Structure 1
Amino acid sequence: MTFGEVEAIKVADLMLFQQTGEHLTDLETIVLQGSWHKKTYSDIAQEANFNEDYIRGTIGLELWRKLSEAVGERVEKRNFRTALERCWQKLETGALDHQAHVKPSLENVTNSREIARPEIEDFFYHTLAQPGCLIRIKAPWQMGKTTLMNKGLYYREKQRDRIARLSLRLAESSDFASLENFVLWFCLSVTEILGEENKVEQHWQSKLGNNKVKCMTYFEKYLLTAETPLVLALDDLDRIFSYSQIAGEFLGILRTLHEQAKTRPIWQKLRLILVHTEVYDQLQINQSPFNAGTQIKIPDFTPREVYQVAEKNGLSWTEEQVQKLMNLVGGHPYLVQQAFYYLTQRGLTLENLLNHATDESGLYGNHLRRYRQYLQQHSPDGIEVLKTVVSAESPVEFTTLQEKEQAQKFYNLGLFRFENHKVLMRYPLYQDYFQQRSEERRVGVGHAVCMA
């Protein structure tokens, strides 16, 4: 057996899991795949529809750092092949413990320091058991959408359902060139994930009708013939939104596939899960999947849940300590869990964490920069709206339609919250960060700040 791209990704995933208890993310996998094919960060970023600085300086840098710690030697883009091959050789000879689960299973994904949230999870599981269901998991970045999705998939996997989890981040730029290209990629990807024989090209060439009809008939003929239900989860659905020439048509296809279950029994086998942050609003109401099915929102942790996270990390916190952390980050699941990681694994004190939370090199640096870079790339017209809310001492009421639309967009992203139809920053962390970046620009400190 020779060492190739597939083996490299499996080894990287195993080493990270053994070191951290976490698997490769979709973006980390994309960086590894691109690096294996000797693509530049610019090419990888363009194909993944991300900013090059984010791919290079955030995803890539963190990936090589984690791999270096996991394998015990310096790993970089230029030498990761040889480093991972050495690990692979040790695995093959038994010098390293294989642990029998190289590739992430749904069970492994759900086994972490996540606390149980039965009110959300039980409702999700109940809804997912309904024939022909469509479930939309909507929440801002890093709220736990993918974690919840994986828990649902693992639950249905135990019921012997067929599972197809597909992230739109895995599609390349060429797949978005036309609706036909993208629907072909979609059908082929689901086919490969399910391990079915590839009949996509043959079906497209032999059948009449448009892409919507061909997609529907392909599912009927090849993917829905088994007796067991098919749970199809589409993660990172937002990625298609920037491709306006195909977004509306593909989202309309998803709505059509779901509605088939109302009149045709074969389509009751399909259960759709759509995972997204924003909402594509350029569709007619009867064509959009975003007003069909059931929406599940992920709320912030309550003080009790933050206390439970502390216990999961071996800490016995007081009510005052819980409140201090929540006064900074609210109950944002990722921000709370990141805090406890640094408190328990990096030796940070709570006071030190609170005092340096907005530092560019601090524990929330990547999270905060992601917002800043997104605003620079996708919402330059919304900067004034953001500046108004950041600098305000009380909630802001916007009056123009454009301002209200921008405020709603920032609400979906998780930057804003509403209070009696007025707007304020969602967390003090965000308010402090953007205030500091604005002040730095005013006095001429720093460069790539968002208040530009």
Structure 2
Amino acid sequence: MPVTEILQWVDQLVFKQTGNHLNNLQKNVVQGIWEGKTYAEIAKEFGYHSENHIGNVSRELYKILSNQLGEDINKSNFCSTIERLKNSFNWPNSSQVICIGNNSSFNVCPLNQKNNSNSNKDNQINLTEKSYHDLTLAPKITHFYDRTLELQTLSRWLTTQNPRLISVLGLSGIGKTTLVKQFVDLNLSQFDVIIWKSIKLSPFLDTIITDIFTLINSELIQTDNKLTQLFNLLRQQKCLIVLDDVQDLFTSGQLAGNYKTEYKDYKTFFTMMTEIEHQSSLILIGQEQCQEMLCLDEQLYPVKCLDLKGLDNTDILKNWGLKDEQSWLALLNLYEGNPVYLKDIVSTIKSIFGGKVSDFLREDTLLLTEEMKFRLGELFDRLSPIEQQIVLELSKSNQPVSREDLRDALALSSTDFINGLQSLQKRYLVKSIEGEKVLFDLSPVFREYVRIYCQK
């Protein structure tokens, strides 16, 4: 049995008992024990100084696993007991799916096979070889600039590695939706079913699932087991589901990634996507990463995250009627390579400066258009009060600020300060710079907005 499979199962058991996933030390200990190594050998192989410390960590794991599995587990019986119990506990495999009960608990239920009796046929999904594509809510891509590496990465993941959950993340306007749509346009034949939905337009999971089956076969829709039917589909057909604007699932005024009450069923759905065996993928496009992915190790779980940065090539400016090509890179850097910012500011340069980029740059100002102010205002309004305090303080300086200086300037507890900084990083508004001291810096365009429009 592969060690990665054992690591994933042990990780789930530990998480159920403690609320925490395995850390690196615990993963190394489990791997070493599974491979029959002594505590001394584990310590030596993974660079730990104390054999006793390895033993202490192991005994704590044995205790957790014993409580979860109802048997006394120790080093001598770890491998045999774990392998035996893993099979007997019916861990989800190719013939099972996890169903959600009314209390959102997970229960393992067998999937119906093709030769099931008529009494069970209402859970079956019998599809022909026909492809089903619903891209009515996806944008039409007319130009695609400078995302070759990111497109190759996305293509490699989805065509060879079969991750079940992918996040494509970055600031508003950075090109997330365009990138994913370009991939879809180039790979339509790779999937039996492709569904594109926007949370802004279709926010409820139940509605999305109903729409999927309406597209394929309305006779399959049942009110009491829609999610079970969906995972039947994801196993039997190679599906790609794209959910855009995922940040709209989360509550404004709180730290990043906190679900609105009415959308908490997505939390369960995203978790199930990573834990159930199937051949399909779900892409989440948004400005905030869901918590279900943050705590999962990509080495153990079928998840991937693609962070999108600004463009670093001026090709995007070539067909926009600008002059002074030697100044284009400075303009690109000023607006952080954000395609939406650039498109907006180009309109101003053409109408006010006759398309002369050098004349605009001589103004020596980071001009914010009305469209930019609207987008940046939405970002600021989503922040929690703690995050707003932090960005207001950071906006006072044009240089990165050390963690110590920032903390001293704010009347925040250590917990609020650390959580606030981490949340701002999840939103791609603050970046950390490692050196002799860890420094933090705001996105320059966002800093200008906060400095001008948010200072009291």
> Would you call these one fold, judging by a TM-score over 0.5?
yes
Cα 1:123–1:287 shift into 2, 3 Å: closer
Is the 8 Å Cα contact of residues 183 and 215 (structure 1) preserved in structure 2? Answer: no
Q: Which has the higher helix share?
A: 1
2:432 paired residue number? 418
Partner AA of 1:156 in structure 2: N
1:138-177 matched pairs, under 5 angstroms: 138-159=169-190, 161-171=192-202
Q: Distance in 2 between matches of 1:282 and 1:239?
A: 16
| Aligned match of 1:238 | 247
Cα separation, partners in 2 of 1:322 and 1:384, compared to 1, 3 Å: same
**Residues 152/315 of structure 1: CA separation in 2 closer, same or farther (3 Å cut):** same
Query: What per-residue deviation string (whole Å, max 9, x for no partner) do you get for residues 351-377 of structure 1?
Result: 347749766xx6x32223332244235
Q: Which residue of 2 aligns with 1:311?
A: 318
Tell me how far apart the structure 2 counterparts of residues 220 and 104 of structure 1 sit (CA, whole Å): 21
Contact 2:191-2:239 within 8 A present in 1 as well: no
AA aligned opposite 1:170: L
Q: Which residue of 2 aligns with 1:11?
A: none
Contact 2:165 2:283 in 1 (8 A): yes
Specify the code of the residue in structure 2 equivalent to 1:142.
G
Instruction: Give the match's secondary structure for 2:212.
Output: helix
Native 8 Å contact 2:191 2:240 kept in 1 = no
Report the 3-state secondary structure (helix = DSSP H, G, I; strand = E; otherwise coil) of the residue aligned with 1:129. Answer: helix
Contact 1:300 1:332 in 2 (8 A): yes
Which structure is larger by alpha-carbon Rg, 1 or 2?
2
Residue identity opposite 1:389 in structure 2: L
Question: Quick one: distance in 2 between partners of 1:107 and 1:216?
Answer: 24
Bigger shift: 133-142 or 414-423? 414-423
Q: Distance in 2 between matches of 1:390 and 1:271?
A: 40
Structure 2 vs 1, CA of residues 300 and 108 (structure 1 numbering), >3 Å: closer, same or farther? closer
TM-score, length-scaled by structure 1:
0.57
CA deviations over 1:264-298 (Å, ceiling 9, x no partner): xxx21x1211112113448994699x975111111
Q: How many residues align?
A: 300
The structural deviation recorded for 1:155 is 1.9
Q: Superposition pairs for residues 311-390 of structure 1, below 5 Å?
A: 311-315=318-322, 317-319=324-326, 321-344=327-350, 347-350=354-357, 351-352=359-360, 355=363, 364-376=369-381, 378-390=383-395
Superposition pairs for residues 22-421 of structure 1, below 5 Å? 109-112=140-143, 114-130=144-160, 131=162, 133-159=164-190, 161-171=192-202, 182-192=204-214, 194-197=215-218, 199-200=220-221, 203-205=222-224, 214-221=225-232, 223-224=233-234, 229-242=238-251, 243-245=259-261, 247-261=263-277, 267-268=278-279, 270-281=280-291, 285=295, 292-302=302-312, 305-306=313-314, 308-315=315-322, 317-319=324-326, 321-344=327-350, 347-350=354-357, 351-352=359-360, 355=363, 364-376=369-381, 378-398=383-403, 399=407, 400-420=414-434, 421=438
Q: Which residue of 2 aligns with 1:10?
A: none
Q: Does structure 2 retain, via aligned residues, the 8 Å contact 1:390–1:435?
A: yes
Residue 233 of structure 1: CA displacement?
0.6
SS at match of 2:402: coil
Task: Report runs of 4+ in structure 1 exceeding 6 Å deviation.
Answer: 103-108
- Give secondary structure in 2 for the equivalent of 1:204: coil
Distance 1:353 1:410, change over 3 A: farther
CA distance in 1, matches of 2:342, 2:208: 35
Q: Which runs of 5+ in 2 are unaligned?
A: 1-133, 252-258, 408-413
Q: Cα distance, 1:408 vs. partner?
A: 2.9
Partner of 2:93: none
Match of 1:446 in 2: none
2 CA distance for matches of 1:216 and 1:394? 50
Query: Does structure 1 residue 451 correspond to structure 2 residue 447?
Result: no
Instruction: Give the structure-2-normalised TM-score.
Output: 0.57
Distance 1:352 1:286, change over 3 A: closer
RMSD: 3.5
The amino acid that maps onto 1:339 is I
1:325 to partner: Cα distance: 1.1
| Structure 1 residues 216 and 286: CA distance shift in structure 2, 3 A | farther
Contact map agreement 2:195 2:242 (CA 8 A) in 1: yes
| Aligned counterparts of 1:225 and 1:328: Cα–Cα separation in 2 | 47
Aligned to 1:49: none
> How far, CA to CA, are the matches of 2:189 and 2:347 in structure 1?
31
SS of alignment partner, residue 164 of structure 1: strand
Alpha-carbon deviation of 1:232?
0.6
Q: Distance in 1 between matches of 2:397 and 2:330?
A: 23
Percent identity, aligned pairs only, is 16
CA apart distance, 1:150: 0.8
How much does 1:337 deviate?
3.2
Unaligned runs of 5+ in 1: 1-102, 173-181, 206-213, 262-266, 438-449
* 8 A contact 2:136–2:196 mirrored in 1: no
SS at match of 1:387: helix
| 1:381 Cα deviation from its structure 2 partner | 3.1
Contact 1:417 1:424 (C-alpha < 8 Å) held by counterparts: yes
Residues 284-328 of structure 1: per-residue CA shift (max 9 Å, x gap): 94699x9751111112211xx12x122233546444x12431452
Q: How far apart are the structure 2 equivalents of 1:160 and 1:332?
A: 31
Distance 1:354 1:298, change over 3 A: farther
